[in-house]
Structures are given as C-alpha cells and as structure tokens.
Amino acid sequence: MAEKRIAVLVVMDGVGDRPLRAIGGKTPLQAAKTPTFDSLAAEGQNALMDVIGPGITPGSDTAHLALFGYDPIAEYPGRGPLEAFGAGLETKPGDVAFRANFATVDSKMVVIDRRAGRDFAPEEQAELQAALDGIEIDDVKVRFKATVEHRGALVLEGEGLYADISDADPHETGKKILTVRALKPEAEKTARIVNKLMRVAHQRMKGLETNKNRAKKGIPVANALLLRGPGRHSDVPPLPARYGIKAAVIAGGALYIGTAKYVGMEHIPVEGQTGTIDTNFDNIAKKAIETIEAGYNYVFVHIKATDNASHDGNIAEKIVAIEKTDTLVGKIIDAVGDKIIIAVTGDHTSPISIKEHTCDPVPIVFWSDFIRPDSVKRFSELDAAFGSLNSIRGMDVMPLLLGYAGYFEKFGS
C-alpha cells in the first residue's frame, strides 16, 4: 500500500460570491491575485459544491458538519452545543445548550440593547460569569461561560431536558424578553426552567459592581441574558472512531472550534488568530505546518475574515482576506506539499451585494503532487464549473480527501 498522506481542509468562510459591477463584473475570487490557488486549480481536480444540497442555503454550523462527513440533517445537534464546545464548556448527552448574549433591559424586561454596548473588559466578563455560573433551579444546574465581547454560552444539566422550545431572545429591541414555550410536550420542563432562569439572571446581574461602574460611565449595563439556538447534545461517532484518524482544528471562532470538537477534533490554539482580517495569517501557516508534521492525519484550517467582509459589504477587505489566505496556503505547500492532499473551498456563498448567506454553490479544488489534473486553470466560482469532479456535496469532501490520502481499504475483493 502507498504511503498515507495527511488530509488538509482549508475553508474560507463565505468566500463564494456573485459578479460585482464595482470590480468589472468579476467576483472577489476572480479579482484577487491568487497564484497559489490558481496553481492548485491547474494541477488539481476542481468542482462546484452544494454544501448541503442544491438550492439549500447553508448555515455555518450545518455546512461544517457536512464538510466533516456528517449528515447535517440527521446529525445536527443545534447551534447551542456547538457554541458551548467552542467556548470550552463541553456538554454531555442529555444536556441542553444555548447561545447567550448579555443585554440591557428596563424594569419591565423590555430589551433596550441586545448587546449591552458590546464591549466588555475581562474583569467585567468574569464578574458576570461568576454571577450566572452554578445557578440551580429545581433539579437543574446552570453552567455559563462568557466568550467574546457580549457573547457567551449556557448549558442546562439535569434529567428530562429537551431543546424543543422557543427562544427567549426577541431578536430586536423594544420588545420584552419572550416567555419560552415548549414546542413538544416533553420540553415543558425545559421551558419552565428557562423562564425562571431569565428572572433569576436579571436579579443576580442588575446589582453587580460591573453594572454600577458602567452606569456611572454612561455605558449600557448588562442586566439580562438573552438565550437562543437551543440544542440537545446527542452522541455521534467521532472522527477517530468513524475513520480511524487523529484530527485537529485550527480556527479562531467558537462555532468552528466547537463544531470540530463535537466530532472529535483537537483544537490547536494559534497566537494572534482572531477570526477577523487582523488575524495572524503567518502564525496560522506556521501552526498548520507544525500540526501536519506532528502526527495528525487530518488538519482543518478555518479562515473567518472572508465572511466578515461579506457581511459588511466590504469588497476590498474580502479580496485582501482571499489574497492573504492564498499566501498562507502557499507556505503550507512549500513546506509540506509532498506530505499532503489538500482541499481549498468555502462553507457557503456570501455575496457582497446580499451581505448574507445564499444557496449559490462554492468552488472547491483538491490537490496533491500525484493527482490527475483537469483542464481548469484558475480557482473561482466560474472556472470550477468546468472541473472534472463536476458537482459534489459537502458530505463528499471527507471521503474524497481520505480516499486520496490512503485511509480507506479496498471495497470488495
């Protein structure tokens, strides 16, 4: 049997786009200077990819589950558990987890600011976290962790909890925190616990020293918690069990770290990896090379800056993010190109003109120094349509990567 290769997946979040008049009818991928990506496209195999399926607009969480080889419909636990894993607040089967925001409410629990001013010093986060973590309501324990700015993750531990409930977050200002409803009879207990928790959290938060100081400075106080995206942890076979591989994730965003950890990847921290355009691309490249050489069989590298630029409608920043990722991948190829099979793609399309996810397929290229090339010469949404792999789905990526990497036994005699 041939020597196994390390499988590498590089995802530029939201990299797919549509032609833009402002840059001569090109997409940002076409307008960017991408010598590495174009070389991979010319020497590799290309395709357009419907990450979930044709016509389906992917969420970032479901898209990554598919890219990791999991059925995003049958095996999606909900956003909450993935955020919790990414925050380092791991869940176990039966727990219900949520995305959380610090918020500002008035005396009638009407939301004034859904982000409570957004900016929080570490000591403010620590005091708020201490006030919320460990709350007990009936037989249910609350675990809470503050993450970035106004955000956090919350987990309910206890018997008989289900995630089939409505959000407490009204998703806009000027409305009261919502009374949570059970969407299925078995979730009545969870709804009751969350409704009590909203009141208890408010009572604990409003008198904190952090809020007294923020009020003196004219900064919105964090006197309430908004919960959304409930999900119940369920067991899925992790990548080591499913494929017999040791897998790593290099990412800056909690959701991507959490989704990867949920399926059994080990998070490799990188100094300066922020998930924004200011992220340290050079350090990411260095850490990816170290990880590839450290005995892992699969390395996932996530770049968030392309998606941030898309949501902001910032063409120039999206092009810069693409070009910096091109340089990053070039460094990986130069250092360990003879050891890897690499795929470069996006998790969804986020057109600058829309500033949101859409169902348009994304380009993907598979490259190794042994692969049979097709006729495509450039890496873009339009060029990929002529690739030899035609049209694939997100769940095809892992089998293709690991198949080329040599991790699958022959099927049949």
Q: Give the model's pLDDT for residue 2.
A: 63
Q: Give the model's pLDDT for residue 148.
A: 81
* Cα(279)–Cα(305) distance, integer angstroms: 8
Q: What is the pLDDT of residues 374-387, one digit of tens each?
A: 999 999 999 999 99
Q: Give the model's pLDDT for residue 161.
A: 96
- Say which CATH superfamily domain 6-75+236-405 falls into: Alkaline Phosphatase, subunit A (3.40.720.10)
Q: Give the model's pLDDT for residue 91.
A: 83
Listed residue (191, 198, 195, 192) closest to 225, CA to CA: 198
The answer to whether 228 and 171 are in contact (CB under 8 A) is: yes
The answer to whether 220 and 104 are in contact (CB under 8 A) is: yes
Q: Give the model's pLDDT for residue 3.
A: 80
pTM: 0.86
| Sequence spans of domains, the chain | 6-75+236-405, 83-232
| DSSP SS3 for 156 | strand
Mean pLDDT by 10 residues, the chain (413 residues): 87 97 97 98 98 96 96 88 85 90 94 91 95 96 91 94 93 93 96 96 95 94 94 87 95 90 94 90 98 96 95 96 98 97 98 96 97 97 97 97 93 86
| DSSP SS3 for 14 | coil
Cβ contacts of 360 within 8 Å, gap of 6 or more: 16, 18, 349, 351, 381
Task: Show the DSSP H helices in 228-349 as ranges.
Answer: 239-243, 254-262, 281-292, 305-312, 315-336
Listed residue (306, 229, 265) closest to 27, CA to CA: 306
* Cα(232)–Cα(76) distance, integer angstroms: 10
* Cα(14)–Cα(345) distance, integer angstroms: 9
* Cα(332)–Cα(144) distance, integer angstroms: 38
Give the tokens for residue 372.
């049979």
